[in-house]
Amino acid sequence: MNEEFVFRLPDLGEGLTEAEVVGWRVAVGDPVAVDQVVAEVETAKAVVEVPVPYEGTVAVLHAEAGAVVAVGAPLISVAAVPGRTEQHRTEERAGSGNVLIGYGTGRPPAARRRARRSRTPEAAAGPVAPRVISPLVRKLARRHGLDLATVVPGARDGVIRRSDVERAIGAPAPVADTDTDADVDVVPLRGVRRAIADKLTRSRTEIPDATTWVDADATGLVEAKDALADRGVGLLALLARICVAGLRRFPELNSTVDVAAGEIRRLGYVNLGFAAQTDRGLVVPVVRGAHRMSAAELGAELSRLAGLARAGTLPPGALTGGTFTLNNYGVFGVDGSNAIINHPEAGILGIGRIVDKPWVVDGQLAVRKVTQLSLTFDHRVCDGGAAGGFLRYVADCVERPTTLLADL
């Protein structure tokens, strides 16, 4: 007789206590292999894959897609293959299984690779559950006997909404009005969106921030970017290198405040965060050890992390430990922003769009490429002199990138 095992959502690390089931890759009755990915869950840090430590047949899926599951709560039950039970118990005692991909495992990487290679395509492939967040959408689909797997989401985020279901069943589109019967798209505040909300609220509550800004002639910066394009150095990499050099001159801004201890801790290293907009919302990947990197090295790491962020595969460790943040909101076509500090950091540098504007050069009016730079800083770590000094240094480097040579 097969023995049924209940696999519970494992300890996620990073202080996380729950995760939302984004989708299932298996269904009841499907065969599964040891370490086969069975679900995709979204934590407050990232979207990660969940492997199951049993071989057998799926007996129960304990949560629907869109449900929030607490750490330690049942996730999936597997009717184990006879003869595999004791082997699993031995592996589990040795540290195998029961971890999320991206959070580490007790088994060596080679062993995990062998396990993955041993799976058959039939065992590894499973139906991808549709991503539905609202229970009202599920109820509407059930009422009309509609299989959500056949519904094509209209939004880029892949979430199936009420309008998608109504389109699939041929219902007339709702007429917008101002009464309580109007269509409302309810999006639960969970996962990454909840983490962003919590962090920004805490920043506004705890940090007495101030903002200062300056316009700068970025013509020289654009020319430097063009000259270094073949070395993989883009605009963001140059701005990151300038930012790091500025923090070396004004270490007050590379600090954190410990209120309980009554201390300001100036950090001797720079872990540079950068804001990245993704389909799942705003995330801030962190370039660790940015103070040791050249512009080319920064460019490579920024590109790598941005790619992982867009794919939703950033490991949780890549989203923590930042000491200062760089925010290039100019990519959205705006000039300025009163940015919110990424708690518990002490500052965030913002860069607006670079546009052609009239500018006085050597007493003559000329058309130059101009940008607005803004610095939001924690007024507890420094006064306006240090903040203004940092921003002026950054502006000088933007206008004359060769200024960086003095700090190499």
Active site amino acids: 379
Interatomic CA distance for residues 141 and 148, integer angstroms = 7
Amino acid symbol at 21: V
As a dihedral over the C-alpha atoms of residue 139, residue 143, residue 148, residue 151, rounded to 10 degrees, the angle is -110
What whole-number distance in Å separates Cα of residue 340 and Cα of residue 374?
11
Closest to 254 (Cα-Cα) out of 331, 342, 167: 342
Beta strands 272-274 and 286-287: pairing type? Answer: antiparallel
Kindly state the tokens that stand for 40. Answer: 């995709």
d(CA 369, CA 219): 5
Burial 269-287 (b: 16+ CB within 10 A, else e): ebbbbbbbebebeebbbbb
Distance between the two ends of the chain, CA-based, in angstroms?
A: 70
Q: Which of 333, 149, 317, 302 is nearest to 232 (CA)?
A: 302
The order of strands in the sheet holding 36-42 is 47-52, 36-42, 18-24, 68-70
Quick check: helix, strand or coil at residue 327?
strand
Please give the backbone phi and psi of residue 116, each rounded to the nearest 5 degrees, phi first: -70, -40
Cα 131 from Cα 157, distance rounded (Å): 9
